[in-house]
Amino acid sequence: MKPVKSSKILVIGFVLIISVPALSGLFGVMPANVLEGESGHDVTLWQIKGDWSGMSLPQRARALISASYAFVRRSDDYYRSHFSFRGALVNMHTFIVRSFLAGNPLPNKVVEGSDGWFFLGDDYSGEISESMGLLNFSDDELAVVVDSLSARAFWLREHDISYYVFIAPNKTSIYGNKLQIQRSHRRTPAQQLDSALFGKVNVLNFGKILRECRELVYYKTDSHWNDHGALRAYEFIIESVTNSLSLMGEPIDRSNLNFDTVTVSQRDLTRQLGIRISETVVELSLRNPTAKATTEHWPMEGARVRADVFERRYLNSKQPYKAVFFHDSFGEQLEPFLAESFGESVFVWDHRFNRKAIEREKPDIVVHIIAERNLEVIGQR
């Protein structure tokens, strides 16, 4: 009888333990999302696209099936990011693996290099493999991207609109020497794209100008460039587009910027690991900004980021030209600088090429700023 009793106690204890996260989330005992910056996006679990009242029966059936698949995927994503005690469990796992096993708790997501440098792993679009030339576009994949960008450039030329694509290099492409990985002799996807579009589309890579900088241009503990990197990228954009916009002024004079030294303890890479490592960086800010943010916004139209960051608009009476910027997370730090150089700036956190929106805005120039690790999506419609 004792073994049976012991088994029951073990089963009951196990059930209680695995029920704690769900019960705490249900009754609000502990916030579900305890990793800083882990979530925060608006979540719509159930949504039917289109005008339901105007649909035929077959269209309604397809819409319901599509919404059901999306509901399952979103529910799973929501549960994963809002699982109670998730942050505490991740932190505990990280501490045990790093402190006692001398290992990497997330080897495919975050890779630790030398001298305190951290990098995104290959889980993110094969960032390391792409940067090292170990993974690149197939001929068919490259053709899709080239055809898509060429068609965009042609359409914009017909509307008398300049078009530029700027590639923000992977951190590994700039500081790959901090990783013990041999670089391949093969071309990277960015190099393939540069060669294939030469003379067809203005595709410019920030890589060369960032490697020439004396200052660090990326955070050690983050996958993005720091303010020094963003400033140099901004200057390169303005220097480049003057070929198309004759009245374009000079980039912001660096004497009109504040340079403040601050210490940050957790950025996106160390946040994923659940650790805090202090890093001293320089934050830049404008002393006398002339651009003013407006409250006018586009409709979301299926965007995957929060409404308050999807589209932002600035007006500047001291500058000519109107620009529309499509971008990802690398574009966010460029906003305050770019807004100072255009009469009207519209920043859209989306890679989709929205022709209707461009026709509505009637800009002088369209600029696409995309991370090297996202190049495979730039050809998507």
- For tokens 């500047």, name the residue: 316
Nearest Cα neighbor of 220 from 279, 179, 132 is 279
pTM value is 0.74
What confidence score (pLDDT) does residue 40 get?
43
Terminal alpha carbon distance of the chain: 67
pLDDT at site 339: 96
Average pLDDT for consecutive 10-residue bins of the chain (381 residues)? 63 67 52 40 55 74 75 65 56 54 61 92 87 91 93 95 96 93 88 91 93 95 96 96 86 94 90 88 94 76 63 91 94 95 93 88 95 86 61
The CA distance from 197 to 220, in Å, is 32
Give dist(CA 155, CA 30) in Å, integer. 53
Q: Are strands 110-112 and 118-120 parallel, antiparallel or unpaired?
A: antiparallel
H/E stretch holding 66: helix 57-81
- Is residue 233 a contact partner of residue 166, using CB atoms and an 8 Å limit? yes
**How many degrees, rounded to 5, is the angle at CA 37 between CA 331 and CA 103?**
100
CA distance linking residue 368 with residue 365, whole number of Å = 10
Give the start-to-end residue ranges of the domains of the chain. Answer: 21-34+59-84, 110-377
Helix (H, G, I), strand (E, B) or coil at 59: helix
Please identify which residue in the block is written with the tokens 């495979």: 376
pLDDT at residue 236 in the model? 96
**Which H or E run includes 295?**
none
Kindly state the helix (H) or strand (E) to which residue 377 belongs, with its residue range.
none
- Amino acid identity at 62: R
What span, in angstroms and rounded, lies between the C-alpha atoms of 31 and 74? Answer: 20
The beta strands (E) that lie in the chain are given as: 110-112, 118-120, 162-168, 202-205, 257-264, 279-286, 292-293, 311-315, 322-327, 344-349, 365-371
CB 349 within 8 A of CB 328: yes
